Every structure is written in C-alpha cells, then in structure tokens.
Amino acid sequence: MKKPNLAIVGATGLVGSTFLKVLEERIFPFENLYLMASAKSAGQTILFKGKSYIVEELSEKSFDKPIDIALFSAGGSISLKYASLAAAKGCVVVDNSSAWRMDQSVPLVVPEVNPKDITWHKGIIANPNCSTIQAVVALKPLHDRYKIKRIVYSTYQAVSGSGVKGIKDLEEGLKGNDISIAYPHPIAGNCLPQIDVFLENGYTKEEMKMVDETLKIMGDPSIKITATTVRVPVFSCHSESINIEFENAFDLDEVFEILKNAPGLVVQDDPRNSIYPLARECAGKNEVFVGRIRRDFSLENGLNLWVVADNIRKGAATNAVQIAELLI
C-alpha cells in the first residue's frame, strides 16, 4: 500500500488521543489524516506533528473521502453503524470496540500472535479486549512449545479501562469523595470483582470476553479457560496472574528462554531483589512485561506467570497501530 489516507474515529477520547501519540512515536507514514468524533467534540483543534487538524463530526458521508485505513475507538454502537459503511467504501477499519470481535467473518488480531489472520479480512479487523491482548502475547509462544491444556485468569485491572469516568471515580475517591459514576461501588480502597455486567452463567461479560477471545486468537478451541476479572484502584496498567496447565512436560529454564525471545515481551524476574512487573513502571510503555515465572507444584505440568501491560497502549492503541502497520 502507498502512504495511506488515515482516519481516526473517536479522536478526542482516551484511546483516540493515544492513537495519535503512538502514530507519532512509531513514525507511521500517511498521506492525509482525518480526525472524527461526535457532534459534541466536532470543531475542536488538535495539534499533531506540528500541524493543526479540525475534528469533524462523524457522519454517513465521512467515508466518501478516499480513506484507506480507519482506526475506530468510539464504542460498539458507533462501530456497528459506521464500520460496515466505511468498509463498503474501500476503507479497512481497525476497530477497538467489542462489536466485531466474535464475528467469525472478522479477524481478531494481536500482531505478535496471529498476524497472518489479517489476510482474510473483508474490510474490518477487530482489536481484542485489553486484558486478552497482554495475556496471549505471553501465552502463544508457550502454547506452541508445550500445548496449553487449561488457563486460569485472575486479573487486576486499572480504572483507565473504564475511560475518563473510571479515572474520575478514583481521583475523587482518593480525595475522600466517594463517587460511583463508572462503577456500582466506590473504587478507592476497594477491589471490585465485577467488570461489565453479570451474565446468566454467573460470569461477567469481561470474563467471558477473555475466554472467548483467547480461544479465537490462539486458534485452539480445545483449551479450557476460566477467568475472574477485578477492577482495582490503579490508574494505569492491567496486571494478571495466569495459571497454566500444559499437555506436555516443560523445563523451567527453557520457559525463561522462550519468553525472553518472544516478540513484544520483556521478562522482569529477579525475586530475590524484588524485581517483577509493576503497573507504575509499565505505564506509558508498549511492551508486555512478565515475571514471577514459577512452576505450579499443585498439578502436573503447571506454570504461574504475572503479566502486566499498559491497557491504553498495548491493550488498545498500540495494538491497533501495529495492525495498521501490517496492512501497509
């Protein structure tokens, strides 16, 4: 592809503004850039790479312009309405909402894990859930070597995963003002074992996203997965305790080497010196960090990992920009 004409839908939001930061950092090539948002945000001026851009209101005519790639982060209902319209005009949409993730005609892509899946897109490529992205970056190289039988996810997810409302809840709570705009209970001083709504099976929607998306991305429906997702009073970065059971025996030294050589992963594991991935240190970075790598002695072929990543970066904006890089 030549230098693409690029659009960002939801350009004034938390992920949308991070799209711009990542595009600039990675020196993403483009010919023309169009910034789109709701009527409320239309008319704002955004400075990007020394040039001022006026945010335009997203409409059914927005993709009458020759746009090659559009990065969407404007919510599921907007994506359902406009992604198909954009694709019909010849634009390739990389969508950050949950709208298209489990559509069997839409690839769900993490570039370090299943980059070849973009080859069968029909105009829309889905960006996975933030908590799923960082998990599969660590799991895929181990699955390729030892074959994963079962996964137990326990997550500790930052309030930025709820956007500006979640950040506001925590900021006000730390001041002593217990507000609950984003959550059913105050988040300051709390761990909330509910992310999104509860389903009939007793799991939350977030937990089932992790289960279903992992199976789709890994391309192996035989893996057994369970998850408990928890919102914690941390501003940025999701942390995950991942318990794995392999079909085959493994050598722990080899596990370390596999993870050290895996794309997009950084190993931080020196327990004697209290070195392991920390949310405060991983914030603002694009990699996935893994530590506390140890054998689970309670079962045969069991392994424990601690995985941390910036949920707005690798969990959303960076992953989408990486997909766009694959496209060009």
Mean pLDDT of the chain: 97
Q: Are 30 and 5 spatial neighbours (Cβ–Cβ below 8 Å)?
A: yes
Q: State the CATH number of the domain containing residue 228.
A: 3.30.360.10
C-alpha closest to that of 227 among 196, 250, 257? 196
Annotation says 130 is catalytic = yes
> Both 207 and 94 in a single domain?
no
- How crowded is residue 66: how many other Cβ atoms within 10 Å of its Cβ? 12
Backbone angles phi, psi at 48, to 5 degrees: -140, 120
DSSP assignment of 148-163, as one string?
EEEEEEEEEE-GGGGT
> Both 52 and 101 in a single domain?
yes
Q: Are 225 and 155 spatial neighbours (Cβ–Cβ below 8 Å)?
A: no
What is the rounded average pLDDT of the residues 211-216?
98
The pLDDT tens digits of the residues spanning 132-148 come to 999 999 999 999 999 99
- Compute CA distances 161 → 48, 230, 283, 313, whole Å: 24, 11, 13, 11
Asked, for residue 1, whether it belongs to a domain, the answer is no
Catalytic residue among 91, 130, 237, 282: 130
What is the rounded average pLDDT of the residues 281-304?
98
> Both 77 and 189 in a single domain?
no
d(CA 152, CA 155): 10
The count of domains in the chain is: 2
> Both 200 and 146 in a single domain?
yes
HSE-up of 21 (CA within 13 Å, CB side)? 17
> Both 304 and 320 in a single domain?
no
Q: What is the pLDDT of residue 117?
A: 98
> Both 137 and 79 in a single domain?
no
Percent of the chain at pLDDT > 70 equals: 100
Q: Are 38 and 55 spatial neighbours (Cβ–Cβ below 8 Å)?
A: no
C-alpha closest to that of 114 among 139, 93, 131, 89? 139
3-class DSSP state for residue 134? helix
- How crowded is residue 235: how many other Cβ atoms within 10 Å of its Cβ? 15
> Both 106 and 54 in a single domain?
yes
Q: What is the pLDDT of residue 2?
A: 80
> Both 166 and 109 in a single domain?
no
The pLDDT tens digits of the residues spanning 69-83 come to 999 999 899 999 999
Percent of the chain at pLDDT > 90 equals: 99
Asked, for residue 302, whether it belongs to a domain, the answer is yes
> Both 88 and 147 in a single domain?
no
Asked, for residue 320, whether it belongs to a domain, the answer is yes
> Both 248 and 284 in a single domain?
yes
Q: Are 149 and 223 spatial neighbours (Cβ–Cβ below 8 Å)?
A: yes
Alpha-helical (H) ranges within the chain are 14-25, 76-88, 130-146, 164-174, 205-218, 252-260, 279-282, 318-327
> Both 156 and 252 in a single domain?
yes
> Both 273 and 157 in a single domain?
yes
| pLDDT > 70? residue 94 | yes
Q: How confident is the model at residue 279 (pLDDT cuts 50, 70, 90)?
A: very high
| pLDDT > 80? residue 181 | yes
Asked, for residue 89, whether it belongs to a domain, the answer is yes
3-class DSSP state for residue 277? coil
Q: State the CATH number of the domain containing residue 45.
A: 3.40.50.720
What is the rounded average pLDDT of the residues 191-218?
98
Annotation says 143 is catalytic = no
pTM (predicted TM-score) = 0.96
The pLDDT tens digits of the residues spanning 144-159 come to 999 999 999 999 999 9
| pLDDT > 70? residue 1 | no
User: Domain range holding 179?
Assistant: 131-311
| pLDDT > 80? residue 43 | yes
Catalytic residue among 121, 143, 237, 238: 238
Asked, for residue 188, whether it belongs to a domain, the answer is yes
